[in-house]
Structure 1
């Protein structure tokens, strides 16, 4: 089997009959001798798409959670049903309660959007949570979990409206748990974002500090450019161009406007992201 990344859950689905999309993200990284699941989406696509994509959750060596939102953690229960002794890599803040402010019918509501299992519930099912508070390598140094991402790019700040519970109060969320993955493949390094709540450029800068990104093969996952101003969007795209990725397949929370601009700016590099997409690395 070729070494590859398969998108299991995305906001859009491809042309294969039977695959479903959902608001969420999940991807399977398959290296020789090591399989890693990155996020689980809400869990519906993870279950529905398995017969067609033919992945075996019982054979994965670990699960990495990019942050503690339901659309990246909702399938944990299903994963642990198939693989109960799994190591789950995450930042401890992923277990904090999370909310988002939404205006509905003229009222501002705070909706719960946090992780779907507590640490205790994971452990009761046999899982081993592994806290990632600094960069961590897996698979003999071929996979890097970024650890916390410093906020250095002046226009990349966590968007307002997201809340995190601290000391019994909900305060603006700066996403201390936001993690990304980097994978060494034959064509270079692939970077997987969950949502890049702390900024796609901040994330790439962090990975570059640790590993170097002289040969960046692939960008994939969510970049949360939805709702950004035109100026911020163009600055981000300019920043991505400086990293010179060979392929760009970002999606999920990136937003339609940003996807269109990326396709225009990188017509020969942009790949439309969808559930079921397989990319050799």
Structure 2
């Protein structure tokens, strides 16, 4: 098996390399078997700059996968494919549902649109994209598997109550069925690459275990959403699951949060890494 390289192009923080900038968002490049697959595109604020700093040719991207339909993971689609060219984008069908973040100011809910900023028609007609929308687990490149919908099987991984969708004129809890991740077979072992893991990172690992037959994973890389959900039972049970799945590398990004990252570092030490913009690993 040829080596696999994963490079973080967009993330909240920048590594120490000159020229890299941070944004609230996520994008990771997977290079495998001579092919280049991009998971997410960040907000579109730093993708081009960081790609140039890392000598990554965005024009050579063969395929894109989207982890879910939030702006901070999809905003770079317009930049990435201007001028337009025909590229397949793999995602869940719900990515185009209008999505909002809701916060209370006193007794009044205040909502912000956080969904994809361009509709499907615009992206197809003006950026040349072809959307392959999937609900099921599927191999989308040799040795790279798209999770599809992740069953919620744990009782301690809770949804983020701030995230809403508009349905029938009402704002309701977003079930985030579009939350998807990748499983990548590498020389070091299977690697899970996540955008935010809104499904719950343990649910993601359990899903890939059931679908792939792997009972351990070399690494989890990407966002875990632990930083938004408190540091109580969910955090403790997640750390136990990281040990149960025998992870050798826990490289956190984006929505993991400072406190959750610090707890992971203190538990796992040399197995821990910050997967910041500019971080790269070859497996």
**What is the TM-score of this pair, normalised by structure 2?**
0.94
Q: Any residues of structure 2 matched to 1:34-45 within 5 Å, and which?
A: 34-45=35-46
**Counterpart secondary structure, 2:272:** coil
1:17 is displaced (CA, Å) by 1.4
1:46 is displaced (CA, Å) by 0.5
**Aligned mates of 2:84, 2:137 — CA distance in 1:** 25
Match of 1:161 in 2: 162
Q: Is residue 84 of structure 1 aligned with residue 85 of structure 2?
A: yes
**Aligned mates of 1:130, 1:91 — CA distance in 2:** 8
Matching residue within 130, 138, 141 for 2:140: 138
Q: Is residue 6 of structure 1 aligned with residue 10 of structure 2?
A: no
Unaligned runs of 5+ in 2: none
Tell me the alpha carbon deviations over residues 108-156 of structure 1, each in whole angstroms, 9 at most, x when there is no partner. 311100012211111112110110110110222x000000000110011
Moved more, 34-43 or 223-232: 223-232
1:213 is displaced (CA, Å) by 2.6
Match of 1:238 in 2: 240
**Counterpart secondary structure, 1:205:** helix
1:175 is displaced (CA, Å) by 0.3
Q: Any residues of structure 2 matched to 1:1-281 within 5 Å, and which?
A: 3-81=4-82, 84-104=85-105, 107-125=108-126, 126-140=128-142, 142-226=143-227, 227-281=229-283
**Counterpart secondary structure, 2:46:** helix
Task: Give aligned pairs, total.
Answer: 280
Unaligned runs of 5+ in 1: none
**Aligned mates of 2:84, 2:35 — CA distance in 1:** 15
Tell me the alpha carbon deviations over residues 187-211 of structure 1, each in whole angstroms, 9 at most, x when there is no partner. 0011011111110000111111111
